[in-house]
Structure 1
């Protein structure tokens, strides 16, 4: 009974999410996942769909991504495992309207995602906002070890988080280059599908789309489920999150 009620609720939510769209929800989720998973442009996906007899303009694909990439992140976030207590924090560069912006990211020592935040500047205020977002998301799970590079804003941002009560105790702060290699490699994984020419057109576009890029990386890494974790299982989970029938089911 409980599973039937959950399935019925998901199907109702799917009808609400895709109401007014001229294409089937399964096609929309498939197209959005292609863009977030692979280094494809909107015109690439437009041609791929045209090969299958479906005429979808690249501007429509752009609207789908902006609408549903944050939803993908929201639905998949519930499956993430808690971090192990040892967190690596770093920032990387993202181009928005021809200007460099900064994506703060955190993973644990096993590569599991912790949190992320896109900011206009790289300074103390930005670091404090990222820490506040990260620690507030899981108030009962504070890290006991934090690794960063030698950027100056991190020590005072950690101390400020402790004063605000976001950290129950002061974590050990490691400033070492070799500990950051894991998160620097992880930056590449989330940025490989991002626009390469000109970057994002607006800060809001970048923020919404990056939510989807991060979520798709969570999906590809897996959530600790037992058994195989191929593209088939990933698509199955994504379809279930939106209450949709599974496409190409064996």
Structure 2
């Protein structure tokens, strides 16, 4: 069993109760704040450099009953680049996401692919005018599909309580979730089992479950 960190409180409570440990909601919240991003950074550091074709998309999420927007970017291989929770999806919000994305990745793409939201075009001309921009609904399925794990966790957690909490959780979750989703549909069963064995071993080292190997 592995911890799809950060978990919902009910999941953590059940796992710890099985081990004879009683925890409170505040304890779990503090664990998430302390270890969530640290654990997420481990798999990210092991990923190859992002591809040169980026897919960007935004979906609405409910935060304390109010509509907010989750902006997400992935490369052509489906690797998550960054996420940002914002209250709007206008030009200023798109520009902020572009600049955050460029700073976070430290790279400039050859082309970006978005849907037909006009905010992308306006922000693109200011933030990365030298990059080719393709705006087409049918070309952006990769970014749209990348939202599915987030939707599943959102339902399990019954929504988010604040923008800050949503940003912290989704930032960590977006770094950890792909580590345990190695494109199963493209692998044979033996290859998938071998790949997951490697990924579990990496996860154990990231979380400190086993000692890191010493170098000769």
Contact persistence 2:50–2:81 (CA under 8 A): yes
The corresponding residue for 1:134 is: 101
Question: How large is the Cα RMSD of the aligned pairs?
Answer: 2.5
Find the aligned partners of 1:84 and 1:205 in 2 and give their Cα distance: 29
The corresponding residue for 2:176 is: 216
Find the aligned partners of 2:174 and 2:40 in 1 and give their Cα distance: 7
Of the candidates 134, 137, 144, which is equivalent to residue 177 of structure 1? 137
Find the aligned partners of 1:96 and 1:195 in 2 and give their Cα distance: 12
- Relative to structure 1, is the Cα distance of residues 243 and 129 closer, same or farther in structure 2, using a 3 angstrom cutoff? same
The Cα shift of 1:118 comes to: 1.4
SS in 2 for 1:192: helix
Of the candidates 146, 151, 158, which is equivalent to residue 186 of structure 1? 146
Of the candidates 53, 77, 80, which is equivalent to residue 86 of structure 1? 53
Q: Is the counterpart of residue 54 in structure 1 residue 21 in structure 2? A: yes
Larger Rg computed on CA atoms: 1
Contact persistence 1:89–1:148 (CA under 8 A): yes
Of the candidates 235, 240, 246, which is equivalent to residue 205 of structure 2? 240
Find the aligned partners of 1:50 and 1:103 in 2 and give their Cα distance: 33
Find the aligned partners of 1:102 and 1:229 in 2 and give their Cα distance: 34
How many residues matched?
Answer: 202
SS in 1 for 2:54: strand
Contact persistence 1:146–1:171 (CA under 8 A): yes
**TM-score (norm. length: structure 1):** 0.72
Structure scoring higher RCO (CA < 8 A, sep ≥ 6) equals: 1
The corresponding residue for 2:125 is: 159
- Relative to structure 1, is the Cα distance of residues 48 and 197 closer, same or farther in structure 2, using a 3 angstrom cutoff? closer
SS in 1 for 2:153: coil
Provide runs of 4+ in structure 1 moved above 6 Å: none
Contact persistence 2:82–2:171 (CA under 8 A): no
Contact persistence 1:190–1:217 (CA under 8 A): no
SS in 2 for 1:34: coil
Any unmatched runs of 5+ in structure 2? 184-190, 212-216
The Cα shift of 1:148 comes to: 0.4
Find the aligned partners of 1:45 and 1:242 in 2 and give their Cα distance: 16
Deviations 1:127-149 (A, max 9, x none): 1111001112333x311111100
Find the aligned partners of 1:194 and 1:236 in 2 and give their Cα distance: 28
Contact persistence 1:41–1:195 (CA under 8 A): no
Deviations 1:18-61 (A, max 9, x none): xxxxxxxxxxxx6xx3354xxx6312331232123222234322
- Relative to structure 1, is the Cα distance of residues 107 and 207 closer, same or farther in structure 2, using a 3 angstrom cutoff? same
